[in-house]
Structure 1
C-alpha cells in the first residue's frame, strides 16, 4: 500500500474519490455530492496541488489503484482538522484507513500541530470505533453537520 500527498496531476483521482465518498456516505461529510460535483476542474486542480486551505493524501492498493483519501485543514480556530476520510468499500479492513489517518497525523505533527480534531456522528459506530483505535477521544462539543443540519456530530481529538 502506498500513501502519498496529492499533486496537481492527481486532480482527477481526488475528484473521483471525493465524489465516490459523497455518494457512498452522503450524510457523513460536511458537503454534499451536488456541491462537490459543481466544482470546476481548476478548483479540483487547486485542491490537489494544495493551493487551498486543505492538503490531501491518497492511498493506493498493491496494484496501484486509488483506494482512499483523507484531508487535513487548519480551522479558523487554528485547530488541525482531519476531514474527508474515506476508503472504497472493497478496501475497508485492508489497513488503508489506518495508514491514511496515521500518515495525516504524522503530517500534522511535522507541521507543528500536537492536537488534531475531527467530527463524527457517534451513531456511526464503525467510524467512532476506528478513530478510538487510532487514539482519538470524544469531547463534549456537538454541532450540526453543515451539509445535513438535522445530524449532530461530536468532536473527537487526538493528542501527540
Structure 2
C-alpha cells in the first residue's frame, strides 16, 4: 500500500489532501495501521499479478455517508476497467453497509477525472472546499445517490 500511495502522490501531487513529503514521513507502523484498516479509512488496492496498479479508499462521514478518497490508477491502467472496478468495490461496501450516498471531491478542471465520475453516475453539487495540501485549489463535491439495490 505504501508503494502505490506514494506513487499516486508523486504522479498527481495536486489531486490529494496530503502531500508526498507528508506521506513519505509516516512511520512504518502508521503505514501498517492504514493497511490493516485501523482508523476510519479503508484502503482497497487493484493488482496485476503481484503489482499494485490502483488504489481507492473510503471513509464514513458524520452524516452516515461514504466519502470516496485517494482514487488513483497507474498511468498504464488509465482507460482500462481498473478504476471502475475500484469504484464498484466502494459501491458494494456502501450497499452492504447501508450507505445511500457516496460523495467525493474533485477539481472540476481535471476534466478526465470529472468525466470518469460522471460516467459512473456521480453528479456535481454546488459545494466547494479547499484542498488541504494545496489551499489554492478548490474542489467541487460530487455525489452518487441511491447506491442501495432495491
Q: What SS does structure 2 have at the residue aligned with 1:42?
A: helix
Matched, 1:97 2:93: no
The number of aligned residues is 146
Which blocks of at least 5 consecutive residues in structure 2 are unaligned? none
1:66-104, CA deviations, whole angstroms, 9 ceiling, x for partnerless residues?
A: 110100001244431000000000111121000000111
Matched, 1:125 2:106: no
Within 5 Å, give how 1:66-145 maps onto structure 2: 66-145=52-131
Q: What SS does structure 1 have at the residue aligned with 2:109?
A: coil
Matched, 1:154 2:140: yes
Which blocks of at least 5 consecutive residues in structure 1 are unaligned? 1-13
Q: What SS does structure 2 have at the residue aligned with 1:46?
A: helix
1:33-90, CA deviations, whole angstroms, 9 ceiling, x for partnerless residues?
A: 01111111101111111011100111012x3421101000012444310000000001
TM-score normalised over the length of structure 1: 0.88
**Hey, which bits of structure 1, 4+ residues long, moved more than 2 A?**
75-79
- Distance, in Å, in 2 between the alignment partners of 1:155 and 1:131 is 11
Within 5 Å, give how 1:40-51 maps onto structure 2: 40-51=27-38
Provide the alpha-carbon RMSD of the alignment. Answer: 1.0
- Distance, in Å, in 2 between the alignment partners of 1:82 and 1:27 is 17
Q: CA deviation at 1:119?
A: 0.1
